[in-house]
Amino acid sequence: MGFHTFPLERAGALDDPSRYRFCSREELLELLDPAPVDHALDIGSGTGFFAAEVAPFVGTLSCLDLQPGMHRAYRRKGTPANVHLVTGVVSALPFHDDVFDRAFSVDTHHEYYSPAAMEELARTIRPGGGLVTVDWSADGTGDDGPPLAERYGPGEIVAQLELAGFDVVERRERPETVAIDARR
């Protein structure tokens, strides 16, 4: 897999409601179990499509994205007061140890995964906290999302999480994506 970013010129596509067919608001909130969550992290937040769904249910939501242009797009839409936009990379998170109750990524694991990124997530998610990963599956058809060669299979993602010290508590496989709930 290779590191890449979503093209800024296509940022508007990240707000397309058809994305819900791969991860609905309801499913994400069920997996996150956000009540009560003081501090959550949206990994690869983009234009805030899923952050907007989670923000009302958490005390503070840190939205991490590599591209400042994505944060600008989110600000133009209106960023809730409890959302903090952070520019950075997952492999060097600019947060203290054990600060997050929950973290989540939707459609970005294949973009940020590295052993260093997983170590950073394990460092910043408090013991007992959770990490929800919803991503394109290498077992998918390839009809939607990135090419199959850029994806990880469900077993690979589970192994990546477990190697970083997470316990997988649930794994949901669908035709094109996989959703995994892991706890530290």
Domains, the chain, in order of start with CATH, read 8-183 (3.40.50.150)
Question: How much of the chain exceeds pLDDT 90, in percent?
Answer: 79
Residues 6+ positions from 104 with CB-CB distance below 8 Å? 28, 31, 32, 40, 41, 42, 43, 50, 54, 131, 132, 133, 134
Average pLDDT over residues 122-134: 97
pLDDT of residue 16: 72
How far is residue 170's CA from residue 165's CA, in Å, rounded to a whole number? 15
11 vs 150 pLDDT, higher one: 150
How far is residue 118's CA from residue 9's CA, in Å, rounded to a whole number? 29
Reduced to 3 states (helix: H, G, I; strand: E, B; else coil), residue 92 is: helix
Contact indicator for 129, 91 with CB cutoff of 8 Å: no
C-alpha to C-alpha distances, 178 to 12, 97, 119, 128, 138, nearest whole angstrom: 24, 28, 21, 22, 9
Confidence of residue 70 (pLDDT cuts 50, 70, 90): confident
How far is residue 71's CA from residue 45's CA, in Å, rounded to a whole number? 8
Please tell me whether the peptide bond between 17 and the residue prior to it is cis, using omega within 30 degrees of 0.
no
Task: Supply φ then ψ for residue 99, to 5 degrees.
Answer: -90, -25
pLDDT of residue 97: 98
